[in-house]
Amino acid sequence: MSDLILEIFSEEIPARMQRKAAGDLKDLLLASFKEVGLGFEAVEVAWTPRRLALSVTGLPDKTEDQREERKGPKVGAPEKALAGFMRGAGLASIDQAEQRDTPKGPVYVAVIEKPGQETKALLPGLITAAMAKLSWPKSMRWGRNTHRWVRPLHSILAVFDGQALDGTYEGLAFDDTTRGHRFMAPEPFSATTWADYKAGLAARFVVLDPEERKAKVAAGAEAVASAEGLSLIEDPGLLEEVTNLVEWPVPVLGRFDEAFLQVPAECLILSMKEHQKYFALRQADGSLANAFVTMANIETPDQGTAIRLGNERVLNARLSDARFFWEQDKRHSLESRLPRLGDIVFHAKIGSVLEKSEAVEALSGALAAKVTGCDVSKTQRAAKLAKADLVTDMVGEFPELQGLMGQYYAQNDGEDPAVALAIAEHYSPLGPSDRCPSAPESLALALADKLWILANFWKIDEKPTGSKDPYALRRAALGVIRLILENGLRLNLTDEVAALAPEQAGDLMNFFADRLKVTLKDRGYRYDSIDAAFAREPEGDLTRLVARVAALEAFRGTEQGADLLAAYKRATNILRAEEKKDGKVFAADSLVPSRLSLAEEQALFDALEGLKAPLAEALASESFEAAMQQLAGLRDPLDAFFEKVVVNADEPELRANRLALLARLAQDMDKIADFAVLEG
């Protein structure tokens, strides 16, 4: 067994492309190994801004010999059939094929022997093919090359069993050399094993392992911040990106003018992140510090002083822009900006952003009346102003701040705090980890915005298909679900949807149902419990539905519940079978109590009668756990019934009455959930 090491060395690869490219290269190469029958023991992949690297251990020195038998036509078949068989099997003459007896007579069989190939002869072709297939979001050609790559290539280290492979790609011959850090160790060095390769890079100021490099970036930034009594504002996305911008991370702490702290902190943080890839810092009291950490890619004799000064100059210019936007935007109220929303097309088939805002304003007022403690006028005021920040300079520069900047500008305009907060929160929740609004006005507006979007895209038949969801409608539906469930909101969602999109209401409610099922499954609920509860919630009251599912799940987990459900299945199976046989339905209201001849069937009837009032009371008060406990009382009389009573009695009237009793059992139990869909 031998090992392969591969490094593709180039100009700097964009930070956000590196992880996927390294994974894709590995997948392509291993897929080609499988095709040619090359096994291996382990694979390791790594990357830096200038290199994709891969190690495959435990490769055989050659592939195994292969033997294939290909069945052909019958002996004596027409010449044309024989010629086609020989051509496909690579035979020069039919005499090279064997004749074998079969029940239908002798046939020709070609035995094709394929000797194993040397791995070192196969690998160059597999590597170049994988490189040619590797897809980049953006790529380029340079020189006279025919293939595209993300950035110009410099060298390809490809070593198998300690020797450089004999191969080329776009004029670059495979060899066993690479280079270290661009500035601190640019001279080539040789590496014939993965261990030597990693050690050689480390000695030349390159941290190859991205996770090790990420830890070094994080620790270095924390260390220089801590030395100044500051702490890092965590940002996993920025940490990943900065990790892929440097090969040898060297933290440098810089500062900016304190006067910039008058600008909202989110603007400063985003400016540092998006424009400069700087880590923002906070003071001990949690407020934003006028300091940042940048990650240099080089050690300098002046300990980074020149780098710090240069970055401070650039950042001060950037923050000056942010301050200018902030000061300019504050000169105009949000309300004064509303006419400009008419110039922004929300969707060609739906209308402008202004038209959308006016519609959501009306809808939010109707929903606000159904949210406890919600002020209708404040909600509608927030809806009116919610999109106005889209035409501010700050949001034009940083679209990620829409909503939040609306809150700041609303506060500057003297709007009510509840209005300002609702403007900030009406986009939320944006994802499963995003905080869900709980303030009444925020809840009503966020709900109105999302419901309106869903209904109107359904009206124009722009629905998610497969993995495509360009308008984030799945996210909007999940947002509606979270807003309702996490706030315990009681809402007839079916009526709300029907009022917004009458013709599409059924399909849109099914969409909500599918999203809710995903949500509940993620919480650990079984899919059949969800289906059973759904069948009893035509109003689309999600809060009540989830309570019903939870109670059903708890009931199923008890011994009494499991036994009762098994008895229910037995009862309904008998009932359905007899109804099919007779071609008619045995209804619960056809039950005649005076025909109950045995004590066990009378006891079951009495138990059902005794259950009627407490079950109705529990359902009316939505005490689903209490309702399940009431059902649990049926277990003993039902067990006795099946033990002593013959349902299919010889007397037709007695049989029909007992089947009606089973129908009554199913009817009463199904008031809580559709138990027929439960498994087990």
Query: In this structure, are 94 and 231 located in the same domain?
Result: no
Query: In this structure, are 27 and 94 located in the same domain?
Result: no
In a domain, 549, yes or no: no
**Using one digit for the tens of pLDDT, what is the confidence trace for 29-51?**
999 999 888 999 999 999 999 99
Higher pLDDT, 638 or 69: 638
Single out the residue of 71, 75, 101, 103 nearest to residue 89, CA to CA.
71
Give the H or E element holding residue 153. strand 153-160
Give the H or E element holding residue 448. helix 440-459
Say what the pLDDT of residue 116 is: 77
Residue 167 contacts residue 10 (beta carbons within 8 Å): no
Say what the pLDDT of residue 20 is: 96
pLDDT at 489 over 90: yes
CATH code for position 184: 3.30.70.600
Count of domains in the chain?
A: 5
Q: Which domain holds residue 473?
A: 342-491
Of 470, 491, 512, the last residue of a domain is 491
In a domain, 505, yes or no: no
* CA triple 35-36-41, angle to 5 deg: 90
List the structure tokens of 407.
């809150």
DSSP secondary structure code for residue 149 in this structure? B
- Output the CA–CA distances (angstroms, integers) from residue 422 to 342, 356, 381, 432, 452, in the order listed: 22, 17, 10, 20, 17
Say what the pLDDT of residue 217 is: 98
3-state secondary structure of 163: strand
pLDDT at 680 over 70: no
Of the listed ranges 65-74, 225-234, 562-571, the one predicted with least confidence: 65-74
Of the listed ranges 111-115, 321-325, 374-378, the one predicted with least confidence: 111-115
Of 491, 512, 541, the last residue of a domain is 491
Query: In this structure, are 217 and 294 located in the same domain?
Result: yes
- Output the CA–CA distances (angstroms, integers) from residue 66 to 63, 100, 112, 199, in the order listed: 9, 21, 8, 40
Query: In this structure, are 466 and 411 located in the same domain?
Result: yes
pTM greater than 0.75: yes
Confidence class for position 80, pLDDT limits 50, 70, 90: confident
In a domain, 452, yes or no: yes
Say what the pLDDT of residue 26 is: 97
pLDDT at 88 over 90: no
In a domain, 23, yes or no: yes
Most confident among 206-215, 554-563, 592-601, 669-678 (mean pLDDT): 206-215
In a domain, 506, yes or no: no
List the structure tokens of 310.
């240069």
Say what the pLDDT of residue 451 is: 98
Query: In this structure, are 214 and 363 located in the same domain?
Result: no
Give CA–CA dist 377/492, Å, rounded: 22
pLDDT at 128 over 90: yes
Of the listed ranges 15-29, 183-197, 198-212, 517-531, the one predicted with least confidence: 517-531
Say what the pLDDT of residue 593 is: 92
Peptide bond into 188 cis (omega under 30): no
pLDDT at 72 over 90: no
In a domain, 640, yes or no: yes
Helix 440-459 vs helix 353-368: angle between axes, to the nearest 10 degrees? 130
CATH code for position 482: 1.10.3210
Q: What percent of the chain has pLDDT over 90?
A: 72
Query: In this structure, are 350 and 312 located in the same domain?
Result: no
Identify any residues that bridge with 68 across adjacent strands, giving them in sequence order. Answer: 112
**Using one digit for the tens of pLDDT, what is the confidence trace for 441-452?**
999 999 999 999
- Output the CA–CA distances (angstroms, integers) from residue 289 to 228, 232, 295, 487, in the order listed: 11, 10, 18, 35
Query: In this structure, are 100 and 126 located in the same domain?
Result: no
Give CA–CA dist 156/9, Å, rounded: 6
Query: In this structure, are 350 and 462 located in the same domain?
Result: yes
Query: In this structure, are 459 and 364 located in the same domain?
Result: yes
In a domain, 551, yes or no: no
CATH code for position 583: 1.10.730.10
pLDDT at 136 over 90: yes
DSSP secondary structure code for residue 137 in this structure? S
Tracing tokens 């739906």 back to the chain, one arrives at 350
pLDDT at 67 over 90: no
Query: In this structure, are 449 and 578 located in the same domain?
Result: no
Give CA–CA dist 221/494, Å, rounded: 52
C-alpha 299, offset from chain centre: 40
List the structure tokens of 675.
């138990």
Confidence class for position 527, pLDDT limits 50, 70, 90: confident
Confidence class for position 322, pLDDT limits 50, 70, 90: very high
Query: In this structure, are 187 and 293 located in the same domain?
Result: no
* Number of other residues whose CB lies within 10 A of the CB of residue 521: 12
Give CA–CA dist 329/455, Å, rounded: 33
Give CA–CA dist 152/254, Å, rounded: 33
Give CA–CA dist 134/138, Å, rounded: 12
pLDDT at 538 over 90: no
DSSP secondary structure code for residue 478 in this structure? H
Specify the amino acid at residue 229. G
3-state secondary structure of 232: strand
Of 466, 491, 516, the last residue of a domain is 491
Residue-wise burial string across 176-191, b where 16 or more C-beta atoms lie within 10 A, e elsewhere: bebbbbbeebeeebeb
Mean predicted confidence (pLDDT) in 613-638: 90
Report the greatest alpha carbon distance in the chain.
Answer: 106
In a domain, 450, yes or no: yes
Query: In this structure, are 347 and 410 located in the same domain?
Result: yes
